[in-house]
Each structure stands twice: as structure tokens, then as C-alpha cells.
Amino acid sequence: MKISLPIKTGVFLGKMLQYPVIQWRKFFGLPREVQVKRRTLHYHLDLHEGIDFSIFVTGKYEPKIQKAFAQITSPGDVVLDIGANIGAHAMVLGELVKDGGQVYAFEPTHWAYRKMLRNLSLNPGLKVKALHAALTDEKGALIPATVSSSWDLTRSLSEANALDMGYAQSTEGCAQFSIDQWVKTENIQKVNVIKLDVDGFETRVLRGAVETLKKFHPIIICEWAPHHFVDPEEPFQEMIHILRNCGYEFFTLDGKKISESAAEIESEIPFGVLRYVLARPGAGPKNDLKCT
């Protein structure tokens, strides 16, 4: 796997790029919040925020991931965006699935959920439904009172979460359920693609999605960042085992096969680094661990 920049380095570079733009806008009396059109989508952006600033300057957020979306998503697909934040990926996915498909965007913090609703209101034709919800396992393990969902490039890094370099926002008021529960309650007939980025809670989410994975075999784009897994009962390697034993194989975003060894995978990702991978349904479940 290619080595990515540490999160802290990426945020620092973002701050360096953002500073002259913010100062220039201040000099001319321009606001920090803007409403813009980038490509075919409309956004309300706060230029102090890293995700928003990336969209403002480049027209998109995490272009390699969005390129992968285009390769694995088809019109009519049902997509789950878990950890949707302001909807930067959900909106792109909404265009890809077109009128016959549907994107469900799950976000636990009210701060980011509200921003996502505002962006979706500017694009009323998109097939995206935002849910103020945290996904968990079947036991209903409680989520933290706050999680990182802001990356304010104007704030000091000393104030940020040391693991993800983000700033905490409240999860108060969000619903909480497992994917399997939600699929049954909403009578979801298919799930084609899942984007999973929940900063260390992936194991919990996947444990509550086993029936869905076995039934629908969706392709999963998943963030891997072992240093986020600070709960000894929710280890990074268990996330890998759950996916492997549900029949998944792992690939880089450009299609190169990744080792099936959880220990080897973890050892290859340096502390502070994250990378996205594709988990694709393969030859069937392994035998060393039950798919639970």
C-alpha cells in the first residue's frame, strides 16, 4: 500500500493554503460563508472549514474517493454514506445513482447534519436522504457525547483531537440503531455500496451490519486508520476479521490486492496515517472467525 501523509501534516498544509485566501477575502470585506456552484452542484460553504475550503478551491472533496465512487456506483443503486458530515460525498453519490436510486446519509453530529441539510436544500433534485443518526451494533452500544466533525483551519492544532485533528461537536439528539435494524424497519430491498468513515467506530458499525453484508454483498469504501481504534474492545483487527469472514477481499482504490492478514495490514499503516480501501465480496467467508 502507498504511504499517505499523516493527518496532522495534511491539516497543516491545508492551513497554509487557506491562510492567504482568508486574509485576501478579509481585506476586501468578503464573507467567510459563501454560496457557490461547483461543477453541477450547489453548496453553502464556510471557508474556515477544511472540507468546505477544499470544495471551494478545487470543486470537490477527496477526489480519489469520488473517482472510486464513479467506478463502483451505477444508476439505480442504493448507497449508504455512514459518517456523511456536510454531505460532500453523499451529494456526488446522489448524482451517480440518478432518479432510480437512493443515497442514505447518516451523520451523528447536529452541527454537520444541519450543514448537510442546507447543502441538500440547494440541490432539491438529488436522491439523498439525510438522517441524524449514529450507527452501532445490535447491542446498542452508546456513542460518545461528542465526536469530531469540524476541521476549522483557523483554529490552533493544540485544541484539536490528537487522533484525527478535528474539533468535537455534540451528538445530542441523534437516533441510534444498527444497519441490520434499520434495513428491516425501512424494508430496504438492496444495498449496493457503503461508504464507511467513522473514525474508529467501524468495528461497531460492521458488527451491526452482518446480516446486511451477507444478504446484499455491497461494495464498501472504508477508511482504515488503526490509531483511531483506542477502545481495546473495538480493535482495528476485529474490523478486518468481520469483513474477511463475511467473504470480503481488500483492494487499494486503484484495484491492487491487499493482504488478508489483519496484523500485517495494521503494521503497514503508520501511526497518524489513514487510507481508504475497497472491500469487495469475494470467494466466501473464511473459517477462522464467524461472521459476527
**3-17, 32-46, 205-219: the lowest-pLDDT one:** 3-17
Question: Does residue 95 contact residue 41 with C-beta atoms inside 8 Å?
Answer: yes
pLDDT band at residue 291 under the 50/70/90 scheme: low
Spell out the residues 6+ positions from residue 71 whose beta carbon is closer than 8 angstroms to its own: none
pLDDT confidence of residue 232: 87
Nearest to 45 by CA among 85, 12, 104: 85
Nearest to 115 by CA among 127, 99, 102, 132: 132
* Residue 3 predicted with pLDDT over 80: no
* Residue 290 predicted with pLDDT over 80: no
* Residue type at 155 in one-letter notation: R
Nearest to 116 by CA among 134, 102, 126, 130: 130
Angle at CA of residue 108, ends 19 and 199, nearest 5°: 65
What distance in Å separates the CA atoms of residue 274 and residue 200, rounded to the nearest whole number? 11
Mean pLDDT, to the nearest integer, of 35-58? 97
* Residue 23 predicted with pLDDT over 80: yes
What distance in Å separates the CA atoms of residue 7 and residue 236, rounded to the nearest whole number? 18
- pTM, 2 dp: 0.94
pLDDT band at residue 289 under the 50/70/90 scheme: very low
DSSP code of residue 214: H
pLDDT band at residue 282 under the 50/70/90 scheme: confident
Grid cell in block for residue 77: 443503486
Neighbours of 235 (CB within 10 A): 16
Chain segment 104-145, per-residue pLDDT in tens: 999 999 999 999 999 999 999 999 999 999 999 988 778 899
pLDDT confidence of residue 287: 45
Nearest to 223 by CA among 245, 243, 247: 243
